[in-house]
Structure 1
Amino acid sequence: MLNLTSIEKFLEIKFKNVPYQVWLGKHSMMELCSFSGHEPAIYPPPMPLNDKDTNYTFLQQNKITYIGMTFEDSFQVIVCFFDRIIFNEFEFDHLYLLFSVLYYKEISKFKNNELEKVIEGIRILNTSLDLNELLKKIFQIALNVIPAGDAGVFRIFDAETNLLVPLTTVGLPDEYIHYKTRIGESTSGQVFIDGIPRIHHSKQEILMDRINISKENWSFAENIDIARAMITVPVSLGDTRIGTMTILQFSKKKKFTERDLDLLQSFSPQVAIAYNNAKLYKEAHTRLNKVTQLSNELEEKNKLLQQRINVHDTLTQLSLNNKGIKAIIYEINRMLGMPVGYVDFLDSEFYPRNQNQKKFSIDNISNLISIHKNTPAFIGMFNQDYYFYPIIVGTALLGCIIITLYHPLSSMDTITIEQSGSVLALELAKKISMTEIHYKKVQEYFNQLLENHDHKTMIAKGLKFNLEFSTYTFVVLCEIPDLFEAFEIEARIQRLLSKIKKEFPKNNKLIFGFHNKVTLMFSVPDTKHIKGIIHLIKMIIAEKDRYDKNDIRIGLGTPYKEIKNIVKSYNEANKSLSFLINRNKFGLMRYEEIGVNRFFLNQPIQEIEEFTEEIFSHLRSDKLQNKDLEKTLMIYISSNKSAIETAKTLHIHINTLYQRLRKIEELLNISFNNPEDMLKIQLTCHLRETFG
C-alpha cells in the first residue's frame, strides 16, 4: 500500500471542506488509493498525457475538477475534487513534486524487487542440476517480475529433427509439450532465426505472425486457447542460439511493456546457463555411469571367468582320473547346492540311480527336450521347477542334466552348468571312443571267423570275448539308415548296442558296431532259444523310442550247426537286409522268409525295372493316359484271376472288367488261359510289387 500521508496533509490544509479522491495507475487499470468525504467512488475519465512543457493537465466535468499527472511508462495520478477548484501554479507544482517523490520511491522499490528476483534466478542455478526443476523456478521468478504474464515456455532447438521443441512449460496444458515449430515458423521460429525479440499485444497480432505454419501445428493451434498477448526472446549460449523463451498472457489485463521485454531478456542467459550446466552434468554423469558400469561388468566377468576356470579344472580332473560320470554328477551337486541328476541317452542310465527315473522316463525326457528344440529350458512338473540342460554334439542328443530348482539360477550357477555340460560331453565322447576300440577288436575276430579255416584256433580266441560255441550259430545284422551326420549315427548305434546288451545279458553272443551297422552272432544249444532271441529282437524294434522308432532294418541268417557255416549265415543275413532295402521297408526279415525272391536278390534293380517296364509299357499309349489297365492287371493277378473280386476292388461293373481284360490281352499279345503267358504275367506283377 502506498504511503500518501504527506499528500493527504497538504490537501487537507489547502482544501479543508472539499471532498477528493486520488486514483493511481494506467487508464485501463486505475486504483483508488486515497479519499476524503462521503462521495461515491467515481472512476476518472481518460486524461490526456502531459506534453513536454507541462507537468499536469486539467479537466472540469459535472462540477468535478480532475487534475492529471503523467510519469514514466504512461503511469498517471488523477486527483478528483468534487468542486470547482482554482489552483495557482505554485501549489500545483508542489503537489506534482509530492507525487513525483512518491512515484520514484515506489518505482525504486519495484526495481529493487525486480533486481532481487533476477539475482534469485541466478542463485538457484547452483541449487539443483535437475534441468526441468531449474527452468520452472526461473519461469516462476520471471512471471513474478513480469506480472502481466500467466504462463511460459522454453523451446530448445533439436538439430536431429530441425525443430524447436518445448522443453519446459509453466501454466500451460500438458499437450502443449507436443507443439513443435520449424525454424522460421510462427513467432518462435522467426525469433530463433533472426534473434530479434517480439512483443504481441493482442490475439490479432499473434495470429498475423503465424506464417509458414505447418498443417499439424495449425490443427493443434485450433484446439488450444490463443494467448491474448506474449513476449518471445531468443536464448543463446555464447554465439550459438539454442532456443527461445516465451511469456504468454491469457487472463491478466495488464499490458506487456518494453521493460517486461528487457526483464525477460535478462532471464534468457540464466536459462541458457541452466540448460548448459544440466547438459554438461548429464554428459559427465553418463560417462561416469559408463565407467562404473564397465568396471562392474569387468569385475563380474572376472568372477565368472574364475568360476568357469575352477569348475572346468575340478570336473576335468575327475574325467582325466577316470572317476566316471557318477563322480562328476556328485561334484556338480556339491557346487550348485541343489539336487542334480543326469540321464545318459547312450546307455539309458540315470545318475544317481533310482532318483529321477521315479518321476521321468527316457521317452518323457527326450520328448520334453524335443519340444524345447534341444535347448536348455525351465520346466515345471510335479509341483516342482526343473532346469533341463541337454548335452548335444552336432545334432546327437547324448544326455541331459536335470536340476531340481530350490532357488533361481545365478550367473555363477549358469557358468557351472555350462562347464559341466562341456566336461560331460567330453566324457561321453571318450566313452564312445573306448567302445569303438573294443568293437574294432571284436570285428577283427569276426572277420577272421569268416575267412580262417583253422576252426580250433578261432574257438580258442572266442574265449577272450566270452564266446563259447554251442550247437547252433547264426548271424544277425542290424542297420540304421545312413541319413544322419556321423556323430548322430554313432549315438544311435551306441543306443542300439546298449539295448541289445540289456536284453541279452547272459546269452552266448558276439556283438560289435561299425558305422551304421550292428553285427550279432548267437551260439545256442537248440532251436527253442532261437525263437526267444528273435522275439526279443522284435521287442527292441517295437519300442516307442523316438530315436530308433521305424528306422531299423534287421536281417537274420539261418542257424547252422558247424562253425564253418558262419560265413553262410552272414551272407544270408546280408541278403535279408538287401531285400528290405530294395523294398524300402523296415523291420526284421529272416532269410527263409524271402522265398522265391532270393533268386532275384543278386539281380540289379535296374534290370528288374527294365524287364517289368517292357511289359507294362504296352498298356500305355497316347490314347490311354491313365494307368487303369496296369492297376486292373495287378489286382486281377493278386486276386488269383477272380473277376468278381477284381471288379469289386476296382468299383467297376463286371462287363467293364471283361472289356479291360480283353484290351490287356490284345495289347500284350497274350491269353490268360495260356499257362506260359500266365507265368510270365504273374512273374512280372510279382517283381513290380516286390521291387518297385
Structure 2
Amino acid sequence: MTSRRVPAAGVQAARNGGVPRSGPAGTAAHRAIAHLLHLLAEEAPAEAFDRLSRSVLDATAPSDRDLALTALARAGRVRELLAHRKRREKETQALYESARDLASLRDGEQVLEAIVHRTRQLLGTDAAYLALVDPDTGEVYMRLTLGTVTTRIESVRQRPGQGIGGRIIRTGRPYATANYQADRSLDRDPSVADAVVEDGIVGIIGAPLRVGGDVVGALFGANRYEHSFEPTEVALLCSLADHAAIVIENARLFERAERTAEELRTANAQLRVQGQALERGTSAHGQLMRTVLRRADMAELIDAIGAILEGEVALVDPNGQVVASTRAGHAPPVADPPAAGGEPDGSTTARPGGAHRLDGPADVGTENWAVPVQAGPDSFGHLVFRAGKPLLEADVRILERSAQTAALLLLMERQAAAAEQHVRGEVIADLLAEREPRWDSFTRRAKRASGIDFDVPHSVLVLTAGGVPRRRLLRAAADYAATRRGLASEHAGKVVLLLPGIDEATAGRTVKPQLDRMTGGQVTCGVAGPAASAAAVRELHRSADRCHRLLLALGREGQAAGVEDLGVIGLVLSGTSREQLQQVLAETLGPVVRYDEEHGTPLVETLSVFFSAGQNPRAAARSLRVHPNTVYQRLERVDVVLGHRTWREPQGALAMQMALQLHRVVQQVPIEVLVGA
C-alpha cells in the first residue's frame, strides 16, 4: 500500500476541527463553526441558525462552503436530538409528577385536574378534556374540561360508538384526527358536532381510561387548527390516561373502603349499644327476679322498675284502678284507663311484645307507655310508665320484661291466694252444708284455719253470670275477696261471696259493677246481710239465694238485689208462710189456672199481658197478635170463671197482679225456697 502524504494545511485543518486556519476563507469558516457551537451551547432558537446559514453562504469561500454547510447540517441534527431529549425529559418529568400525585394519595379531583392540565401543557393543545362513562346509560359525558371557550361543549354526551369518545369507549383503542369535521370515518351526533364547531375545535386526540378489562372513560387533547398527531404524542396521552384511570379506580376503591368502614363503624356502634342494652337488660332481669324470689310485694316491685327505668310506674288493674305506683295512689297520666283484657285507648305505637306508646297528656319530651300484664289468658291489667325522655329499644324491652315479672308475681300471689281460698272455701262448705255444724267448734276452726271472725258482721252474696264460665267468676270473686279480707267459694253451682264490714245496700251497689268489669259479663247478685254470727250468716245465705232465684224468675238477670230491692214481691215473701202463699194463689188465680189446664186456653197469659198493657184491651191485643174482640171475650170468660168482676177494680187489680207475679215465680222457684224455713 502506498502512503498518501497529507499537506501541512490539511493537518492543521484537522487539528482545528476540520476547518483550515490559513487564508481568509479558512478564517471565515472557523468563525462560522465557532459561532455554530456557541448557538448549540446556548440552545438558540431556529431563527439564529437560519441567520448563521445565510451568512455562511454569503461570506464563505466556495472551497470551504461545503465544509461549513456540512457542519450546519450536523448541528441541526444535534439540535433536533437535544430538543427531542428535552421533550422526553419533560414528558418523563410530567409522568413522574403524576405518579407522585398518585402515590401521595391526594384528593382524586385535584389529581385529575392536574392530569388534564399536564395533558394540555405537554401536548401543546388548545384544550384538554376528561370524559367518563355513565354506568346507568353507558353514555360518555364530560367530567373535566380545560381550555374551552363555550359552555355547550361541557355538557356533551355521546352514545357508545358515536364520535371520538364513543368510538374509543367501544373499541378500547386511542384515536386521533387532524380535522374532526372532515373525518368521514366518524359517526357524529349532530348536536355534538355543533358544539365542537362552536368551540372552534379541529384536531382531536383521545386515549381510553382502562380499569382492568373495562373502559371507564377517555382523555382528550384538542387544537383549534388542523394538526396531525405523532405516535409519540399518542403514547404520551395513553400514559397520562393510564394515570387518570388509576386515580378513578383508586377513588372508587377509597369510596368503597370508606363505605365499608362506615358500615363497620355503624355496626360496631350498634353492637356496642346492643351489648350495653343486653348488659343492662340482664342486670334489670336479675334485680327483678331477686325481688320476686324474696316474695316482695307489688309496691316494692313497682319501685324497683321505676328505679331501673328512671320514671314513674304504676300497675293499673282491669278496672282502671291503681294497684301500686311509684307515687302512692297515682298513675302516670294516660288518655283513658285500659279496658279489661283490651288495649289502652289512645295508643299510637304498638309493638309485637305488647308495649304501646300512648297519646295521653304529657310534658314536652316525655312519653307514656302501657304494657299488658298477662299470664296466658289471664289479664291482670296494664303496667303504665311515664318516661322523662324518649325510650330506647332496650328500655322498651326492659319495660315489657317488667310486665312479665309483674305477671309472675301476681300469678304467684294468686296461687297463694287460691290455696288460701281453698282452705277458706272448706269453711264455706262446712257452713252451708245440709247438716248444721256445731257452732262453737266451727267458729274456732274457721278463725284458726282461715282467719274469718264471724263476730264481725258479714254480708252474703250469691252470684252467677250469664255467658261467663263459673271458674272465671269464682276467680274474680276470690280476687275481690282477697283485697277485702273476705271469702269466696262455690256452692250448689253458684259462687258464694262473704264480705266483712259491709251492709246489704252497699254490697249490692258496689260489688256487682266491679265483678262485671273483672269478668266482662253481667253478674246476677242476690244479697243479704249483715249478720254477726256463723249461724246467722248461714241463714243469710238462704235469703241471698232466694233473692238470686227471684231475680232470675222475674226476668231481672244481670241485676243485684236484696229482699227490700225486690219491691212488693220481696215484702210479701219475707212475711209469708208457705200455707199463706198457697192460699193467696188458690183464691186469686187458682180457678183461672185450672180452667186453662182443663180447656187449653191462654187466660192467665191474657191477664198478664192485659195488666202489662195498662189494662188496655186493644194494646193487649196488639201484643198478643189477636183481634181486640178476642181479648174482650177472654176477659169476659175470666169474669165467668172467677164468678165476679172485682179483679177489674183497683184493689182487686192489685191483688190479681200480685198473684200473677207470684204464679210466674212459683213456676221457676219452689215455694219452700221462696218463703224460707
| TM norm. shorter chain > 0.5 | yes
- Deviation readout 1:374-423 (Å, 9 max, x if unpaired): 52437762456245352432683633252442x66567756654544443
State how far apart, in whole Å, the 2-side matches of 1:319 and 1:193 are: 76
SS of residue in 1 equivalent to 2:328: coil
| Pair 1:430 & 2:412 matched | yes
SS of residue in 2 equivalent to 1:196: coil
Tell me by how many angstroms 1:320 deviates: 0.5
| Pair 1:392 & 2:367 matched | no
Q: Which residue of 2 aligns with 1:363?
A: 337
Segment of structure 1 superposing worse, 436-445 or 413-422: 413-422
| CA distance 1:419–1:233, change in 2 (3 Å) | same
Q: Which residue of 2 aligns with 1:198?
A: 175
Which of 135, 139, 149 matches 2:112? 135
State how far apart, in whole Å, the 1-side matches of 2:192 and 2:610 are: 83
| Pair 1:6 & 2:48 matched | yes
Q: Percent identity over the alignment? A: 13
- Deviation readout 1:517-563 (Å, 9 max, x if unpaired): 964245899xxx42333233467589xxxx66984333326679672
Q: Which residue of 1 aligns with 2:504?
A: 530
Q: Which residue of 2 aligns with 1:649?
A: none
Aligned runs of 1:210-229 on 2, under 5 Å?
210=187, 228=201
Q: Which residue of 1 aligns with 2:525?
A: 555
Which TM-score applies when normalising by structure 1? 0.58
Q: Which residue of 2 aligns with 1:440?
A: 422
| Pair 1:675 & 2:629 matched | no
> 1 or 2, which has the higher helix percentage?
2
RMSD: 5.8
Which TM-score applies when normalising by structure 2? 0.59
Segment of structure 1 superposing worse, 219-228 or 453-462: 219-228
Q: Which residue of 1 aligns with 2:385?
A: 402
Aligned residues: 528
| Pair 1:315 & 2:296 matched | no
Which of 315, 330, 339 matches 1:343? 315
Q: Which residue of 2 aligns with 1:117?
A: 94
| Pair 1:242 & 2:215 matched | yes
Contact 1:311 1:416 in 2 (8 A): yes
Q: Return the letter of the residue paired with 1:556.
A: G
Q: Which residue of 1 aligns with 2:29?
A: none
State how far apart, in whole Å, the 2-side matches of 1:568 and 1:177 are: 103
Aligned runs of 1:140-179 on 2, under 5 Å?
140-148=117-125, 150-156=127-133, 158=135, 163=138, 168-170=143-145
Segment of structure 1 superposing worse, 279-288 or 422-431: 279-288
Q: Which residue of 1 aligns with 2:452?
A: 466
SS of residue in 2 equivalent to 1:234: strand
| CA distance 1:326–1:523, change in 2 (3 Å) | closer
- Deviation readout 1:245-288 (Å, 9 max, x if unpaired): 14265x94564624543332222322333344445555566666
| CA distance 1:318–1:166, change in 2 (3 Å) | farther
Tell me by how many angstroms 1:148 deviates: 2.7
- Deviation readout 1:91-144 (Å, 9 max, x if unpaired): 999998888776765565444333322222222111117544443433332233
SS of residue in 2 equivalent to 1:455: coil
Segment of structure 1 superposing worse, 344-353 or 200-209: 200-209
Aligned runs of 1:572-611 on 2, under 5 Å?
573=548, 576=551, 588=560, 592=566
Q: Which residue of 2 aligns with 1:475?
A: 461
Q: Return the letter of the residue paired with 1:530.
A: E
Contact 2:119 2:221 in 1 (8 A): no
State how far apart, in whole Å, the 1-side matches of 2:187 and 2:446 are: 106
Segment of structure 1 superposing worse, 442-451 or 201-210: 201-210
Contact 1:154 1:169 in 2 (8 A): yes
State how far apart, in whole Å, the 2-side matches of 1:481 and 1:548 are: 14
SS of residue in 2 equivalent to 1:377: strand
Tell me by how many angstroms 1:482 deviates: 4.2
Tell me by how many angstroms 1:179 deviates: 7.7
SS of residue in 2 equivalent to 1:381: coil
Contact 1:459 1:469 in 2 (8 A): no
SS of residue in 1 equivalent to 2:630: coil
| CA distance 1:313–1:180, change in 2 (3 Å) | farther
Q: Which residue of 2 aligns with 1:324?
A: 297
State how far apart, in whole Å, the 1-side matches of 2:537 and 2:357 are: 56
| CA distance 1:223–1:268, change in 2 (3 Å) | closer
Which of 536, 539, 545 matches 1:570? 545
| CA distance 1:678–1:439, change in 2 (3 Å) | farther
Q: Return the letter of the residue paired with 2:382.
A: G
Tell me by how many angstroms 1:339 deviates: 4.3
Q: Return the letter of the residue paired with 2:633.
A: N
Which of 337, 362, 372 matches 1:381? 362
- Deviation readout 1:328-373 (Å, 9 max, x if unpaired): 344445545x344333426622323437459679838985664544
Q: Return the letter of the residue paired with 1:554.
A: T
Tell me by how many angstroms 1:321 deviates: 0.9
State how far apart, in whole Å, the 1-side matches of 2:545 and 2:196 are: 96
State how far apart, in whole Å, the 1-side matches of 2:508 and 2:195 are: 89
| Pair 1:268 & 2:232 matched | no
- Deviation readout 1:134-162 (Å, 9 max, x if unpaired): 4343333223323435352343584xx58
State how far apart, in whole Å, the 1-side matches of 2:301 and 2:196 are: 73
SS of residue in 1 equivalent to 2:116: helix
| CA distance 1:640–1:202, change in 2 (3 Å) | farther
Q: Return the letter of the residue paired with 1:398.
A: G
| CA distance 1:91–1:473, change in 2 (3 Å) | closer
Q: Return the letter of the residue paired with 1:438.
A: E
Q: Return the letter of the residue paired with 1:674.
A: Q
Contact 1:183 1:189 in 2 (8 A): yes
State how far apart, in whole Å, the 1-side matches of 2:381 and 2:218 are: 71
Contact 1:557 1:590 in 2 (8 A): yes
Tell me by how many angstroms 1:638 deviates: 4.5
- Deviation readout 1:564-592 (Å, 9 max, x if unpaired): 57357437536746987xx9x75546684
Q: Return the letter of the residue paired with 1:257.
A: F
Contact 2:524 2:559 in 1 (8 A): yes
SS of residue in 1 equivalent to 2:337: helix
- The structure with the larger Rg is 2
Contact 1:151 1:247 in 2 (8 A): yes
| CA distance 1:419–1:388, change in 2 (3 Å) | same
State how far apart, in whole Å, the 2-side matches of 1:635 and 1:179 are: 101
Tell me by how many angstroms 1:453 deviates: 1.5
Which of 284, 305, 312 matches 2:278? 305
State how far apart, in whole Å, the 2-side matches of 1:364 and 1:384 are: 23
Q: Return the letter of the residue paired with 2:435.
A: H
Tell me by how many angstroms 1:595 deviates: 7.6
Tell me by how many angstroms 1:312 deviates: 1.9
Contact 1:129 1:281 in 2 (8 A): no
SS of residue in 2 equivalent to 1:671: helix
State how far apart, in whole Å, the 2-side matches of 1:236 and 1:363 are: 70
State how far apart, in whole Å, the 1-side matches of 2:83 and 2:554 are: 120
State how far apart, in whole Å, the 1-side matches of 2:157 and 2:610 are: 84
